[in-house]
Structure 1
Amino acid sequence: MNAATQLDQQDLCGLESVAEGRAPSVPADVVARLLAMGLVQKLDEEERGEMLQLTPRGLSFIRSSDQ
Protein backbone atom coordinates (compact mmCIF):
# COMPACT_ATOMS: atom_id res chain seq x y z
CA MET A 1 0.00 0.00 0.00
CA ASN A 2 1.33 3.40 -0.97
CA ALA A 3 0.72 5.74 1.98
CA ALA A 4 0.98 8.85 -0.17
CA THR A 5 -2.07 7.87 -2.21
CA GLN A 6 -4.10 6.70 0.80
CA LEU A 7 -3.83 9.72 3.12
CA ASP A 8 -6.55 12.32 3.04
CA GLN A 9 -6.21 15.72 4.71
CA GLN A 10 -7.62 14.46 8.02
CA ASP A 11 -5.18 11.52 8.08
CA LEU A 12 -2.25 13.80 7.29
CA CYS A 13 -3.23 16.19 10.08
CA GLY A 14 -3.51 13.24 12.47
CA LEU A 15 -0.08 11.96 11.49
CA GLU A 16 1.39 15.44 12.02
CA SER A 17 -0.30 15.62 15.44
CA VAL A 18 1.28 12.33 16.50
CA ALA A 19 4.68 13.56 15.26
CA GLU A 20 4.27 16.73 17.34
CA GLY A 21 3.29 14.83 20.50
CA ARG A 22 -0.41 15.71 20.32
CA ALA A 23 -1.72 12.18 19.80
CA PRO A 24 -4.59 12.56 22.31
CA SER A 25 -6.14 15.18 20.02
CA VAL A 26 -6.39 12.78 17.07
CA PRO A 27 -9.91 11.39 16.49
CA ALA A 28 -10.32 7.63 17.00
CA ASP A 29 -11.31 6.96 13.37
CA VAL A 30 -8.13 8.68 12.14
CA VAL A 31 -6.02 6.73 14.64
CA ALA A 32 -7.59 3.50 13.38
CA ARG A 33 -6.71 4.33 9.76
CA LEU A 34 -3.13 5.34 10.65
CA LEU A 35 -2.68 2.12 12.63
CA ALA A 36 -4.06 0.06 9.73
CA MET A 37 -1.62 1.74 7.32
CA GLY A 38 1.29 1.03 9.67
CA LEU A 39 2.16 4.71 10.12
CA VAL A 40 1.72 4.79 13.91
CA GLN A 41 1.87 2.25 16.71
CA LYS A 42 0.47 2.13 20.23
CA LEU A 43 2.61 2.34 23.35
CA ASP A 44 1.09 1.44 26.70
CA GLU A 45 2.33 3.55 29.59
CA GLU A 46 0.89 2.90 33.03
CA GLU A 47 1.00 6.49 34.28
CA ARG A 48 -0.34 8.24 31.18
CA GLY A 49 -2.55 5.65 29.51
CA GLU A 50 -2.30 4.76 25.86
CA MET A 51 0.16 6.74 23.73
CA LEU A 52 1.01 6.70 20.02
CA GLN A 53 4.30 7.03 18.20
CA LEU A 54 5.32 7.09 14.57
CA THR A 55 6.59 3.90 13.04
CA PRO A 56 9.68 4.10 10.79
CA ARG A 57 7.27 4.21 7.83
CA GLY A 58 5.31 7.09 9.38
CA LEU A 59 8.50 8.97 10.17
CA SER A 60 9.77 8.61 6.62
CA PHE A 61 6.41 9.85 5.32
CA ILE A 62 6.60 12.95 7.55
CA ARG A 63 10.19 13.60 6.47
CA SER A 64 9.34 13.26 2.78
CA SER A 65 6.33 15.57 3.09
CA ASP A 66 8.51 18.26 4.71
CA GLN A 67 10.70 18.56 1.62
Structure 2
Amino acid sequence: MTRSHGTPAPRATSSLLGCASWSGRAVLEKVPHQERPLRYEYRPTQAGRDLQPVLVLLGQWGDRHLAK
Protein backbone atom coordinates (compact mmCIF):
# COMPACT_ATOMS: atom_id res chain seq x y z
CA MET A 1 0.00 0.00 0.00
CA THR A 2 2.91 2.33 0.57
CA ARG A 3 6.11 2.71 -1.37
CA SER A 4 9.46 2.00 0.23
CA HIS A 5 9.96 5.73 0.86
CA GLY A 6 6.75 5.97 2.87
CA THR A 7 4.39 7.66 0.42
CA PRO A 8 1.12 6.00 -0.53
CA ALA A 9 1.03 4.24 -3.88
CA PRO A 10 -1.06 6.24 -6.39
CA ARG A 11 -3.67 3.55 -7.02
CA ALA A 12 -4.12 2.93 -3.30
CA THR A 13 -4.45 6.63 -2.67
CA SER A 14 -6.99 7.05 -5.44
CA SER A 15 -9.22 4.19 -4.33
CA LEU A 16 -8.96 4.76 -0.59
CA LEU A 17 -9.39 8.49 -0.52
CA GLY A 18 -11.90 8.91 -3.31
CA CYS A 19 -10.05 11.50 -5.37
CA ALA A 20 -13.15 13.25 -6.67
CA SER A 21 -14.34 14.18 -3.18
CA TRP A 22 -10.85 15.20 -2.01
CA SER A 23 -10.22 17.35 -5.08
CA GLY A 24 -13.36 19.33 -4.26
CA ARG A 25 -11.89 20.08 -0.84
CA ALA A 26 -8.61 21.53 -2.17
CA VAL A 27 -6.54 18.59 -0.92
CA LEU A 28 -5.94 17.26 -4.44
CA GLU A 29 -6.03 18.96 -7.81
CA LYS A 30 -7.25 17.13 -10.91
CA VAL A 31 -4.86 17.59 -13.86
CA PRO A 32 -5.43 16.05 -17.30
CA HIS A 33 -2.43 14.03 -18.47
CA GLN A 34 -3.76 12.18 -21.52
CA GLU A 35 -6.25 13.30 -24.16
CA ARG A 36 -7.28 10.03 -25.85
CA PRO A 37 -8.76 8.51 -23.84
CA LEU A 38 -9.09 11.42 -21.46
CA ARG A 39 -7.31 10.57 -18.21
CA TYR A 40 -6.48 12.61 -15.16
CA GLU A 41 -3.75 12.66 -12.58
CA TYR A 42 -4.44 13.84 -9.04
CA ARG A 43 -1.72 15.95 -7.45
CA PRO A 44 -1.65 17.16 -3.86
CA THR A 45 -2.19 20.85 -3.22
CA GLN A 46 -0.28 22.56 -0.41
CA ALA A 47 -3.06 21.45 1.95
CA GLY A 48 -2.60 17.87 0.70
CA ARG A 49 1.15 18.03 1.18
CA ASP A 50 0.59 19.31 4.72
CA LEU A 51 -1.67 16.30 5.34
CA GLN A 52 0.89 13.75 4.11
CA PRO A 53 2.71 13.22 7.46
CA VAL A 54 -0.62 12.44 9.11
CA LEU A 55 -1.49 9.89 6.42
CA VAL A 56 1.94 8.26 6.69
CA LEU A 57 1.54 7.94 10.47
CA LEU A 58 -1.94 6.50 10.04
CA GLY A 59 -0.56 3.95 7.57
CA GLN A 60 2.19 2.98 10.01
CA TRP A 61 -0.39 2.59 12.78
CA GLY A 62 -2.40 0.31 10.50
CA ASP A 63 0.67 -1.74 9.65
CA ARG A 64 1.36 -2.30 13.34
CA HIS A 65 -2.16 -2.93 14.59
CA LEU A 66 -4.18 -4.28 11.70
CA ALA A 67 -1.70 -6.47 9.82
CA LYS A 68 -1.90 -9.30 12.34
TM-score by length of 2: 0.49
Larger radius of gyration: 2
Q: Is the helix fraction higher in 1 or 2?
A: 1
Determine which structure has greater relative contact order: mean sequence separation of CA pairs < 8 Å that are 6+ residues apart, divided by chain length.
1
TM-score by length of 1: 0.49
